[in-house]
Amino acid sequence: MILLEHNISLKSLNTFAIDVNAENLIAIYHEAGLFEVIAKKLCPIRILGGGSNILLTGDLVGYTLKNEIKGIEIIDEDENQIMIKVGAGEKWHQFVMWSISHNLGGIENLSLIPGSVGAAPMQNIGAYGVEQESVFHSLNAVHMANGEKKLFFKDECNFGYRESIFKKELKDQYFITHVNYILRKKDHSLQLDYGAIRDTILKNGIESPDVQNISDAVIEIRKSKLPDPNLIGNAGSFFKNPVIQKTLYHSLKNIHPEIPCYPISETTVKVPAGWLIEKSGFKGKTFNKIGVHKDQALVLVNYGGGCGKDILDLAFEIKKVVKDKFKIDIEPEVNIW
Ligand code: EPU
């Protein structure tokens, strides 16, 4: 059985809180429901995950599937590690909290990231020096056209920086039902080197941190920098951090000696898009009901009642000014629908 609703507002189903309608919204609670939908050969179909990395620019015609497949199940374990199968409709942060409560290590740096477990491999979520691919084992998916089940192993997913095969070659082709992760039960390799994690741990008076302490620190840092989507509509980083040639970086450094960068290869570096946008004068600017966040210029916000097209126009304007000023192309990280 599937639950089908007509002309439903998606406002509460996207973290930008854009108020557009889905012509037909179908909640998928288990594989059987998905097979029922595939058998009906409905068209067009779109798959909505946690709605945290998406900008909706208009009503969605056709059929929108909402992944509600839940469950956290232990598949295998030995004395060192554990394999867990997670329903793709689970909230990512709740999965992180579950793992912390069982003292399982590997995703503590990915605390408080909004969105669903199914979206995590789709865009290979990352934060504070860790990407989900480091704990990913495989995922179960169903082909939307022919209903075939497929188990994708890590080397088939083409994970990159906020990228996977599901955002590129296989875009819109598969419905991810479950994701299988391997977490550590002991000898946790804690990542404290990125950003303010170590300083926050020290400030909190902790000498030998555990996964819970790292998670607490990440939550504290994220809360201090990033707007809470329950209070201000946003989809986290709107743009990806661009990778540029070192030659361009050095010529920019002559003009802007303080320009930050992270080494990527012999010839390239990554530059924080937030810095480029701030230096282009957009940080904290509001334009009617939308704007650029005051503490993190990489985050575009909807203060309430803003529409997706206006946010997209603002993104284009930012992209243009950054290109004119720095000769760097910045590309959206969020999916535009
Ligand atoms: N910066 C500025 N001004 C700003 C924002 C940033 O100058 O307004 C500069 C600062 O130099 C800062 C540097 O950018 O030191 C990096 O900033 P931050 O540590 O906040 O990280 P980010 O590169 O802006 C990335 C991810 C975030 C993730 C953080 C922490 C991307 C697109 N974004 O942001 O991910 O939380 O690192 O790991 O890679 C997300 O994907 O939605 C997201 C929030």
pLDDT value for 161: 94
Residues 149-168: what's their mean pLDDT? Answer: 97
If asked whether residues 131 and 180 sit together in one domain, one would say: yes
Number of neighbouring beta carbons within 10 Å of residue 145: 10
Q: Find out whether 302 and 287 touch, Cβ atoms under 8 Å.
A: no
pLDDT value for 8: 95
Q: Is 54 in the pocket of ligand 1 (CB under 6 A)?
A: no
Exposed (0-12), middle (13-18) or buried (19+): which is 101, by Cβ within 10 Å? exposed
- At which residue do the structure tokens 């600017």 appear? 285
**How far is residue 292's CA from residue 313's CA, in Å, rounded to a whole number?**
13
- Nearest residue (by CA) to ligand 1, atom 25, is 127
Nearest residue to 147 via CA among 33, 29, 2, 27: 33
Q: Is the pLDDT of residue 1 over 60?
A: no
194 confidence band (pLDDT: 50, 70, 90): confident
Whole-number Å distance, alpha carbon 130 to ligand 1 midpoint, is: 13
4 confidence band (pLDDT: 50, 70, 90): confident
Could you tell me where the DSSP H helices lie in 137-272?
A: 197-203, 211-225, 246-255
Residue at a domain's end among 225, 256, 271: 225
Q: Find out whether 279 and 325 touch, Cβ atoms under 8 Å.
A: yes
If asked whether residues 115 and 155 sit together in one domain, one would say: yes
Residue whose CB lies within 8 A of the most ligand 1 atoms, among 131, 261, 298, for a mutation test:
298
If asked whether residues 88 and 160 sit together in one domain, one would say: yes
- Which region among 49-53, 214-218, 231-235, 327-331 has the lowest average model confidence (pLDDT)? 49-53
CATH code assigned at 169:
3.30.465.10
If asked whether residues 88 and 216 sit together in one domain, one would say: yes
- Nearest residue (by CA) to ligand 1, atom 43, is 237
Q: Is 285 in the pocket of ligand 1 (CB under 6 A)?
A: no
Residues 44-50: what's their mean pLDDT? Answer: 93
CATH code assigned at 13:
3.30.43.10
Whole-number Å distance, alpha carbon 52 to ligand 1 midpoint, is: 17
If asked whether residues 38 and 158 sit together in one domain, one would say: no
Residues with a known catalytic role: 162, 237, 333
**How far is residue 297's CA from residue 282's CA, in Å, rounded to a whole number?**
7
Q: Is the pLDDT of residue 274 over 80?
A: yes
**How far is residue 166's CA from residue 179's CA, in Å, rounded to a whole number?**
13
Ligand 1: nearest atom to the Cα of 161: 39
- Nearest residue (by CA) to ligand 1, atom 34, is 237
Q: Is 240 in the pocket of ligand 1 (CB under 6 A)?
A: yes
If asked whether residues 85 and 214 sit together in one domain, one would say: yes
Q: Is 278 in the pocket of ligand 1 (CB under 6 A)?
A: yes
Pairing of strands 21-28, 45-48: unpaired
Residues 265-274: what's their mean pLDDT? Answer: 97
pLDDT value for 195: 78
Domain, as residue range, for 122:
72-225
**How far is residue 258's CA from residue 212's CA, in Å, rounded to a whole number?**
35
If asked whether residues 191 and 268 sit together in one domain, one would say: no
What is the percentage of the chain residues whose pLDDT exceeds 70? 99
If asked whether residues 254 and 157 sit together in one domain, one would say: no
Residue at a domain's end among 209, 225, 241: 225
Residues 27-38: what's their mean pLDDT? Answer: 95
If asked whether residues 216 and 79 sit together in one domain, one would say: yes
Q: Is the pLDDT of residue 289 over 90?
A: yes
Ligand 1: nearest atom to the Cα of 236: 42
- Classified as helix, coil or strand, 14 is coil
CA-based torsion, 101, 107, 111, 117: positive or negative: negative
pTM of structure: 0.95
If asked whether residues 167 and 258 sit together in one domain, one would say: no
Q: Is 60 in the pocket of ligand 1 (CB under 6 A)?
A: no
Residue at a domain's end among 169, 199, 225: 225
291-326 burial, b at 16+ Cβ within 10 Å, e below that, comes to bbbeebbbbbbbbeebbbebbbebbeebbebbeeeb
If asked whether residues 173 and 187 sit together in one domain, one would say: yes
The domain total for the chain is: 3
The model's pLDDT over 195-244, given as tens digits with 9 standing for 90+, comes to: 799 999 999 999 999 999 999 999 999 999 999 999 999 999 999 999 99
